[in-house]
């Protein structure tokens, strides 16, 4: 890593911690500042990594731009859940393409299938059922598509063999599962902070996945 990337990674970590404090204290103004700032910092980490500026690197940059858009949509006071979901879905597609373009082999791919397929089924069954019970039928298709794309991203990360990519992908799935659990099933006080902690760990892992 370059010295610049290391410095920006430290800033991203600090902004992430500030965001956790903001969420824990329910400080809206601090969250509005820290949440996008952390994502922007992780994006800059990707931009300054000492790696070839090839197609995979470009896709990773664009994926972080979509994550930033999703952050903004989901923290707005208005209900922008579907645009936020769409932004993150596009990010997951780009992450998946990046991972599948790496040096994958059949054993890792099969291992990824053994994780991603049952996990997708479990998440879909739990959250789609809750959505239907709540009468939110318009969200069935968007959430179903999202479960598929994030599971595909996790499959790609496992198939790539990158430990940090796998950690980032699994953290992303945990974070988004907690969002769905809070929104559609049963909200708990600890969900908000846990969502952001796992999300920022996910961004860190995905940002460093090209190393």
Q: What is the pTM of this model?
A: 0.95
H or E, element range at 192: helix 191-207
DSSP structural state of residue 101: T
Where do the structural domains in the chain lie, given as residue ranges? 3-207
What's the CA angle centered on 3, arms 38 and 60, to 5 degrees?
Answer: 50
pLDDT per residue as tens digits for the range 93-107: 999 999 998 888 899
The number of angstroms, rounded, from the C-alpha of 122 to the middle of its chain's C-alpha atoms is: 19
Looking at residue 180, its pLDDT comes to 96
Q: What number is the average pLDDT over the span 153-169? A: 97
Distances (CA, A) of 133 to 48, 129, 178: 46, 6, 18
Looking at residue 1, its pLDDT comes to 83
Looking at residue 103, its pLDDT comes to 85
Residue of 65, 73, 75, 64 lying closest to 23 (CA atoms): 75
Which comes out higher in pLDDT, residue 79 or 160? 160
Number of Cβ within a 10 Å radius of residue 185: 16
């Amino acid at each position: 890593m370059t010295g610049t990337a290391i410095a920006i990674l430290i800033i991203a970590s600090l902004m992430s911690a500030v965001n956790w404090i903001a969420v824990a204290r329910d400080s809206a103004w601090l969250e509005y500042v820290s949440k996008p700032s952390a994502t922007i910092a992780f994006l800059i980490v990707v931009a300054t990594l000492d790696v070839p500026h090839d197609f995979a690197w470009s896709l990773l940059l664009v994926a972080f731009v979509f994550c930033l858009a999703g952050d903004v949509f989901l923290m707005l006071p208005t209900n922008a859940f579907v645009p936020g979901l769409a932004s993150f879905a596009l990010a997951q597609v780009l992450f998946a393409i990046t991972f599948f373009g790496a040096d994958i082999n059949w054993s890792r791919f099969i291992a990824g299938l053994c994780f991603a397929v049952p996990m997708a089924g479990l998440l879909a069954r739990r959250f789609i059922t809750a959505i239907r019970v709540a009468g939110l039928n318009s969200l069935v298709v968007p959430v179903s598509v999202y479960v598929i794309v994030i599971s595909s991203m996790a499959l790609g990360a496992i198939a790539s063999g990158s430990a940090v990519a796998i950690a980032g992908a699994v953290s992303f799935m945990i974070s988004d599962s907690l969002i769905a659990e809070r929104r559609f099933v049963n909200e708990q006080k600890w969900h908000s902070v846990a969502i952001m902690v796992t999300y920022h760990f996910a961004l860190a892992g995905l940002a460093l996945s090209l190393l």
